[in-house]
A and B are shown apart, each in its own frame.
Chain A
Amino acid sequence: MSRLISEDIPKASEVKVLDALEAIGLRRSIRWYEPNKPVERWKVQAMLEAARVAPSAGNYNGQRCIVVYRDEDPEIWEFISDWSQITTQMAPILMFWCYDLAAYDTQGQQLHDLMRTGALSKSHGWEYDRVSKLFPLPALLPDFVLHRLAAIDLGNAIQNAITTATALGLGCCLNGASGGARRNIKGKFNLPDSYVFCWLMTVGYPAESMEAGGTRGRPPFETMFFEKKAGNPFKRDEKTVELLKELKLIQRPGPLPGRLEEINRLTKRFGLGDEWLTDWKLGPSMLNDNKIAVDKRPEPLPKEELEKWKSADVKVEFQLHPTVKREILDQYRRERGIGEQD
């Protein structure tokens, strides 16, 4: 049994849980984890239970997840693509999210089940023969559309899992996997041919604060949401914004004071050395001004400040492999004969 999992199950009255709006507002992609802090197994199950009850078009239920514990498979990160190396090496738990196209085989029966249990009624046009004629979907819809539906369902499931994790004090991050890693994973986990692997999710207690430096930049609300027709902005009411700030759905934008200090301390704590210190000034997001279409390189950190970080006395508590460099990762894989290159 993994030492990164604890088996205790608390009473409901002992569980600290955020309400839904606050959990949605507090959610960040967490990229620094407490590598050796065990995660309660019930919390992992809660994430999966939340994924199970997520909205699913026509009760398709194709969401699949393989849970892996880092200490039981310490070299699992070798299969992950370079962008996700550091996060993957320190997270206690990895969740491999897939969808199964073969779930469409029985989707007709699943719709009949919705009728049987009273979710779908005749008053909305649902009849046994009608469903029988329309399904299975693979007989009717182009394959690309099936993938799209399945991916949206999986996204619903993952988002439920993430919100649950945040509400229970855990951090998560979805990590991509490039072609080589994708094929390696298929063999490693014995995934059936009808599975499509989409996202690797790291899970654990954050080593950074839950706010992780503040909310990320977003384009202006009015450029994303419309009333009546596309291009006609949904009017954003400032009083509603204030209400949602009080309810903690809308939280403080990053970078919060001390963010640079936080990430550079973590960089040293995880043994990544001076080379990977963040050596640029942090500043507010530029995405909130849609007139700025040109990227702007951040200003470098003053030399003396960078030197201060280099000489900072931070104990290395957990040594990460410096495979954040693509060439180091590729060489590592070559030497060990691990799978295909990305």
Chain B
Amino acid sequence: MASVTIQIPDPIFEVIKKRAEDTKTTPEAIIATNVVLVFSAARYDRSKWLKTKPPSDDMSAPWG
């Protein structure tokens, strides 16, 4: 099982800590549960994706 170290902005970690206190668990467990729920179904078949997206993320570039 993978183990990662992440940096979380303090105000957001305060929210997580509070949730952990409310639900009598640890901040790590709250984070892990949410990560599992969000990503377990995110299994995309990228071969079906449209492929004309330009490599740049610059959305201000003219379209079409």
Contacts and interface: CB of A to CB of B under 8 A. Distances in A.
Nearest to B34: A144
Interface in B27-45: 38-45
Given A130-B63, A133-B54, A143-B38, A193 B49 contact: no
Given A129-B63, A139-B53, A106 B38 contact: no
A127 B43 contact: no
Given A101-B43, A133-B63, A147 B50 contact: no
A196 B43 CA distance: 11
A196 B54 contact: no
A194 B49 contact: no
A83 interface: no
Contacts of A147: 38, 41
Chain B at the A interface: SS class: loop
Contacts of A131: 50
A139 B43 CA distance: 13
Contacts of B43: 101-102, 193-194
Contacts, number: 64
Given A132-B53, A133-B53, A133-B63, A105 B48 contact: yes
B32 to A, nearest CB: 14
A162 to B, nearest CB: 24
A132 B41 contact: no
A111 B57 CA distance: 21
A108 B64 contact: no
Interface in A101-149: 101-102, 104-106, 108-109, 127-136, 138-139, 143-144, 146-147
A309 interface: no
B52 interface: yes
Interface in A29-68: none
B60 to A, nearest CB: 12
Contacts of B41: 101, 147, 193-196
Given A127-B63, A127-B64, A101 B44 contact: yes
A139 B40 CA distance: 17
Contacts of A144: 38
A136 B42 CA distance: 13
Contacts of B46: 105
A131 B50 CA distance: 9
Contacts of A138: 42, 44, 49
Contact of A105 (B44, B51, B52, B53): B44
Given A109-B50, A139-B53, A144-B38, A130 B44 contact: no
A134 B41 CA distance: 22
Nearest to B64: A129
Nearest to A106: B48
Nearest to B52: A132
Given A136-B50, A196-B41, 5 more contacts: A130-B63, A130-B64, A132-B52, A133-B64, A135-B53
Interface of A: 101-102, 104-106, 108-109, 127-136, 138-139, 143-144, 146-147, 193-196
Interface of B: 38-46, 48-54, 63-64
Q: Which 7 A-B pairs have the closest CB atoms?
A: A129-B64, A132-B52, A108-B50, A105-B48, A130-B63, A136-B49, A127-B64
19 contacts: A101-B41, A101-B44, A102-B43, A105-B48, A105-B49, A129-B64, A132-B51, A132-B52, A132-B53, A133-B53, A134-B53, A135-B53, A136-B50, A143-B38, A143-B42, A146-B42, A147-B38, A193-B41, A196-B41
